[in-house]
Structure 1
Amino acid sequence: MSLQTLLLFIPACFALNMAFGPNNLLSLMNGARHGTNAAIVASVGRLFAFVIMIVIAAVGLGALLMTSEVLFSVVKWLGAVYLVWIGLKVFLTKSPAQSVSTTFESDYSLFDLMRKEFIVASGNPKAILIFTAFFPQFIEPNAYAQSFMIMGIIYLILEAAAVAIYALIGARLGAYVKSANAFRWINRLSGSLMITFGVLLAFARKPAT
């Protein structure tokens, strides 16, 4: 890829990485409840899901998802239901009185956090749209595979940077929250946002082809 193309792709890509959505909300929540390191490790689940999506898009299968109303609806509704379920669970969670910004809650594990990140990323059909509609705008036709690979690597690196930023913000927020009542309201706000994302996803329409 040319330097000019990269200078256009990187800032546009990072804007997509930083967009506030379900996965970045998870990083914020994990940072506040479990600490920065846990939130970053948990994002491995998200990055793995994106690797799969990039490969699918690279071999052309992503176009099938975007053109098939049935496949799009199945993925969309599964993702929406899962987001609403997570949101309700978080909304109803009773938090301990002490700050948990640097400690794990007893009913959570890194595997649980990674699994949630993976499912949330996989359940959003709009995510693969990034790789099937956004990436091709920067593809060099005479070096298709190389271009897609470079953009995929850059996307994952920038996604990891976005995770770290949201995790740090969450950890800072958690460090200032000391009371059970404050955590309860954070859980209610986070849960409500997650439910909102689920409802918005449920009403999302397949992009016009």
Structure 2
Amino acid sequence: MVPLSHAAAFAVAASILIVIPGPNVLFAISRALTLGHRSAVLSVAGGVTGSLVPLVAVSFGLGAVLMASAILFLLVKVAGAAYLIYLGISTIRQRKQLAAALQSKVASISGSRVFRQGFIVGATNPKTIVYFGAILPQFAVPSQGALPAQFLLLGAIFLVIQAFSDGCWALLAATARSWFVRSPRRLETVGSTGGLMIIGVGAGMALTGTN
């Protein structure tokens, strides 16, 4: 097992990284502003669940291969970025439908779809991939047991902190959304803004592997 001192140090390091908005946070905020509290929570849940993908990959050795292969890392990064840009464009195109749906209190997107989108963003987030691949090994102690088990334990700590931090960001954004719901024009504006945010996150992912 991971020594308590190492786990505590990892929690501090993870908190510093997570609190800085990255792809998962900005995606959840954009969904919160666009669709409200429920979608905000589902986006965060999807993002945290998606983060299990790079965690398991790193824990069982695939992360080392990914980090060592510039081509594979680039493919993951580009795939995630392209998906976000696609979602952003779709959000902007559907902004008028969004306003009409919210005014009539009809959901414009299913909960399972929101969760799935968040999952894909979390699974392809370069920031998480780099962090797990580069930082997890620094806090593990080979003499304390199997490394995969230690990586999974440290990763679980990371995911708990991520869920709390991302959830706070998203719920704050969803609360602010109530002001926009009073005006169709405001809703169209927030739909466009949310779409641009998603596109910006995708572009950022395409340009850097650590943010």
Same fold (TM over 0.5): yes
Which position in structure 2 is the counterpart of 1:50?
51
RMSD between superposed Cα atoms in Å: 2.3
Q: Report 1:1-209 matches (<5 A).
A: 1-92=2-93, 93-94=95-96, 95-96=98-99, 105=107, 107-143=108-144, 144-177=147-180, 178-204=182-208
SS at match of 2:134: helix
Where does the alignment leave 5 or more consecutive residues of structure 2 unmatched?
Answer: none
TM-score (ref. length: structure 1): 0.85
Question: Quick check: 2:42–2:118 contact (8 Å CA) kept in 1?
Answer: no
The 1-side partners of 2:68 and 2:28 are apart by 31
SS at match of 2:64: helix
Question: Quick check: 2:26–2:201 contact (8 Å CA) kept in 1?
Answer: no
The 2-side partners of 1:26 and 1:184 are apart by 18
Question: Quick check: 2:23–2:125 contact (8 Å CA) kept in 1?
Answer: no
Aligned residue pairs total: 203
The 1-side partners of 2:209 and 2:32 are apart by 32
Where does the alignment leave 5 or more consecutive residues of structure 1 unmatched?
Answer: none
Q: Compared with structure 1, are the counterparts of its residues 98 and 115 closer, same or farther at alpha carbon in structure 2 (3 Å cutoff)?
A: closer
Question: Quick check: 2:28–2:170 contact (8 Å CA) kept in 1?
Answer: yes
Q: Compared with structure 1, are the counterparts of its residues 12 and 81 closer, same or farther at alpha carbon in structure 2 (3 Å cutoff)?
A: same
The 2-side partners of 1:80 and 1:118 are apart by 14
TM-score (ref. length: structure 2): 0.84
Deviation at 1:205, TM superposition (A): 5.6
Question: Quick check: 2:59–2:149 contact (8 Å CA) kept in 1?
Answer: no
Q: Compared with structure 1, are the counterparts of its residues 141 and 134 closer, same or farther at alpha carbon in structure 2 (3 Å cutoff)?
A: same
**Identical aligned pairs, as a percentage?**
29
Question: Residues 27-52 of structure 1: CA distance to partner in whole angstroms, max 9, x if unpaired?
Answer: 21333343334322333322222112
More helix by share: 2
The 2-side partners of 1:193 and 1:119 are apart by 17
